[in-house]
Amino acid sequence: MPYVRAPPGFHALPLPLAQLSLAAVLKCGQSFRWSTYPLHAALPSDPSHEYRLCLQDRVVCLRQSPDTIFYRAVFPETSVSPEIVSARDAETLLWLKDYFQLDVDLVKLYSEWAERDPVFAKLRTRFEGIRMLRQDPWENLISFICSSNNNIARITKMVKTLCTQYSPPLLSIPPPKLIITTGLLTPSDSNESCPSPALTTPEPELESFHPFPPPSRFSTPDVAATLRSLGFGYRADFIQKTAKMLVDAHGVSISARGKEGPERWLDTLRSMSTADAREELLKLMGVGRKVADCVLLMSLDKAEVIPVDTHVHQIAMKHYGLSGTKQAMSPRLYDAISEKFHSVWGDYAGWAHSVLFTADLKAFSDYGLITPAASPRKQNMSTSRAAGDSSSARARKRGAKQVQTQDAPKLGEGLRRDDDSLGEASSPAERVKKRRRVSQAPR
């Protein structure tokens, strides 16, 4: 494989795609604030996209080749000493290792799951590199309160609206230049200072990046009305009341690391047992068992937790021998499904569940496949655990043929994150029922 040099300003972290696939992990409904930018890539070994996320003090930029993660951080202050630059680079690397949990050997886990589970064994090669993020618990909590009856596009819009409405911009930078390279050359090798007009796009406008707002910004009574006017519906009250509950209980004092009292308290849930941490989360407005389990899995280090809904139940019945009917989800049924999957996958059952979940999403239907219209690389998919899959059933009725690997199983149709959006019901009757349920929801 050709060696790909780090782009100017980026650092290289050797890491094979089997350990982390940014194209899958950042698009499968775990986090909703990453911005994605296409890059011109002449060879399969070239990075095809840049991903950006605004933290409280910096914007992290990532690119990926088959064996390397390229990273850099952009700060508001640019005139700093070399010592400060070096310290910041070290901090960014530590953040990357923590956020992507790179201390966990994903290849080893895949091997263990494949030995225990023939269903997983058929998917492991095609859907490699899917791991759980270790997100900020406060941001993760509010994001999944927004996920109720929602899909990826609306969740992303809501989360970004929270940032632009309640958090001042940290900095503004242009998107990456779309400069065609030779694959083995970086933009600087291609004369970036004087690029040919035929190979570049017009000078882009600056894009502002906003950190996620702290709890105090959402705790005042006027927030609910403002969010309702911005299209949040009944979720507006959940966000405001949850923020107020946490602020009233833990104050707004800011630590040396810039975290308010509620954020520091949420961090302490990581050291609690799963049951105790879940009990604390369930006290908050807009947090049911499913949302609580999403937060436990994605930000509180509870790798064994599996968020369950009716679609996960269908997969458990179809592929894992769980008996039962399409009954309403009850605490007893929820526990039975969780215990079943834990018995199959073990202590990292939540991680394994995420791989099968992603594999079943419609937008990942050609992920990892070589088709006449696609490159051999994994394709970037824009989807969510809230995205529906009913259109694939209609495509089959029309006789459409989807490319599948020979041994990749077709999991349960329509596996989604917490609640399904109105337009994703599988029949007109179901869509009417969903509209009625939503119209009766508290606002």
**Polymer length in residues for the chain:** 443
Residues 6+ apart with CB under 8 A from 178: 38, 39, 40, 200, 201
**β-bridge pairing 59-65 and 49-54:** antiparallel
Chain centroid offset of residue 335 CA: 25
Q: Is 290 a catalytic residue?
A: yes
110-120: buried (b, 16+ CB within 10 Å) or exposed (e) per residue? bebbbeebebb
Q: What is the DSSP letter of 218?
A: G
DSSP run (H or E) holding 173? strand 171-173
Q: What gap in Å lies between CA 249 and CA 306, rounded to an integer?
A: 29
**β-bridge pairing 207-209 and 49-54:** unpaired
Burial class (CB within 10 angstroms; exposed 0-12, middle 13-18, buried 19+) of 249:
exposed
Residue appearing with tokens 């609306």 = 154
Residue appearing with tokens 């972290």 = 13
Catalytic residue of the set 27, 241, 244, 290: 290
The answer to whether 321 and 119 are in contact (CB under 8 A) is no
Q: What gap in Å lies between CA 239 and CA 185, rounded to an integer?
A: 48
Report the candidate in 221, 246, 222 with the shortest Cα–Cα distance to residue 138. Answer: 246
Burial class (CB within 10 angstroms; exposed 0-12, middle 13-18, buried 19+) of 2:
exposed
Helix boundaries (H) for 191-232: 222-229
The answer to whether 200 and 127 are in contact (CB under 8 A) is no
Which residues does the annotation mark as catalytic?
290
